[in-house]
Amino acid sequence: MTTDTDFAAALQHKIDFKTKPLGSLGRIEDLATVMATVQGTLSPRMDGCELTIFAADHGIAAEGVSKFPQEVTRQMVLNYLAGGAGANAFARAVGARMKVVDAGIAGEPFGLEGLIERRIGAGTKSFLHEPAMSAEDCARALEEGRKLGAESPADAVAYGEMGIANTASAAALGHKLTGVGLDILVGRGTGLDDDGLTHKRQVLERAAARTADLGPQEALAQYGGFEIAMMAGAMIGAAEAKKVIIVDGFIATSAALAAARIVPATRAAMVFSHRSEEQGHGALLDALGAEPLLRLGLRLGEGTGALLAWPLLKAAGEMLNTMASFDDAGVTGPQ
Ligand SMILES: Cc1cc2ncn([C@H]3O[C@H](COP(=O)(O)O)[C@@H](O)[C@H]3O)c2cc1C
Ligand SMILES: O=C(O)c1cccnc1
């Protein structure tokens, strides 16, 4: 194939000549286009999916912006390792492998077999008063993530997160990256009531007023979390290594936005799994020009929505690789 245009035309021909009315596999055809383009072949491999959950703590949790206490981050990591979380159940259901990364949970390192330790610190600082992390730590988180993304053996990578108060971090980061108002981006997270939501908005308005215009990496250092920065790095590394990235919910989409602003080519490797119930998700998806595949009322994170989209990618791969063509199936094409 000589040019991108030739490749795109050959790919479209291959999809259009499958034994079906033109365009009749809808979004599955779009997925096939993404995976073939990412891998640079008309016969992409779509055999394995791996979920990596990045976990970290957030200093902003001290401002009462989550319904749950900070120790839940640590407890959930133990739950992942024991196979008991929602992400474990869905990974089993769709046949995905799962890894867990400590990107910077509060307290001491776990020192546990089966947990990948990439701790940038023992939780971020409260971004109400100061940057969540230093520029150096942000660069380290991005780089550790980039390596993890590039070294995955999977054809498709799903990324999940765990970090109490990280919807606050994602909203503040999304606000700085897009300019969309915090009234739109701040949501209930784990289930704040109306008073809790008002308080969270007020805290984030004050935090956002602390800084003026920021570049994407500056915004990530100021308002991000270690897991969000590491996930953004993983997305950059995965795209460089020609993997399809399955983007999960609100927090993962804030990481995707940061990744796409830092390395714009990353965007082309992303597919968007679902529209979360978290209020600000739609605005972040719009900023990325993304139309998610599913709308299931999910608002958990952990990569649960991304896992549910994996069978759709697998189906798109089978369509492209094994479905017959009008060229050779003995089926009469359109008149
Ligand atoms: C038991 C439990 C399991 C979770 N798994 C993901 N999250 C989700 O909720 C958190 C974000 O919401 P907020 O910003 O309101 O704290 C993140 O940890 C996210 O992954 C969970 C939250 C809880 C409580
Ligand atoms: O959309 C998400 O990823 C989400 C929403 C609420 C809480 N945790 C995660």
In angstroms, what is the span from residue 323 Cα to ligand 2's centroid?
Answer: 36
Q: Indicate whether residue 167 lines ligand 1 (CB < 6 A).
A: yes
Phi-psi category of residue 272: left, alpha or beta, with phi > 0 → left and psi -120 to 50 → alpha: beta
Instruction: Quote ipTM for the complex.
Output: 0.99
Per-residue pLDDT 10s for the chain (335 aa) are 568 899 999 999 999 999 999 999 999 999 999 999 999 999 999 999 999 999 999 999 999 999 999 999 999 999 999 999 999 999 999 999 999 999 999 999 999 999 999 999 999 999 999 999 999 999 999 999 999 999 999 999 999 999 999 999 999 999 999 999 999 999 999 999 999 999 999 999 999 999 999 999 999 999 999 999 999 999 999 999 999 999 999 999 999 999 999 999 999 999 999 999 999 999 999 999 999 999 999 999 999 999 999 999 999 999 999 999 998 888 998 88
Reported as a single tens digit per residue, the pLDDT across 267-305 is: 999 999 999 999 999 999 999 999 999 999 999 999 999
302 tagged catalytic: yes
Q: Indicate whether residue 72 lines ligand 1 (CB < 6 A).
A: yes
Q: Name the closest-CA residue to atom 9, ligand 2.
A: 301
Q: Indicate whether residue 299 lines ligand 2 (CB < 6 A).
A: yes
Reported as a single tens digit per residue, the pLDDT across 170-202 is: 999 999 999 999 999 999 999 999 999 999 999
Q: Indicate whether residue 167 lines ligand 2 (CB < 6 A).
A: yes
Decide if 273 contacts 253 (C-beta within 8 A).
no
> Ligand 2: which of 58, 246, 299, 308 to mutate, judged by most atoms within 8 Å of the beta carbon?
299
Residue 231 CA to residue 256 CA, distance in Å, equals 8
Residue 198 CA to residue 192 CA, distance in Å, equals 9
In the structure encoding, which two tokens stand for residue 186, read together? 């701040």
Q: How many residues in the chain? A: 335
**54: β partners:** 101, 161
Residues 6+ apart with CB under 8 A from 83: none
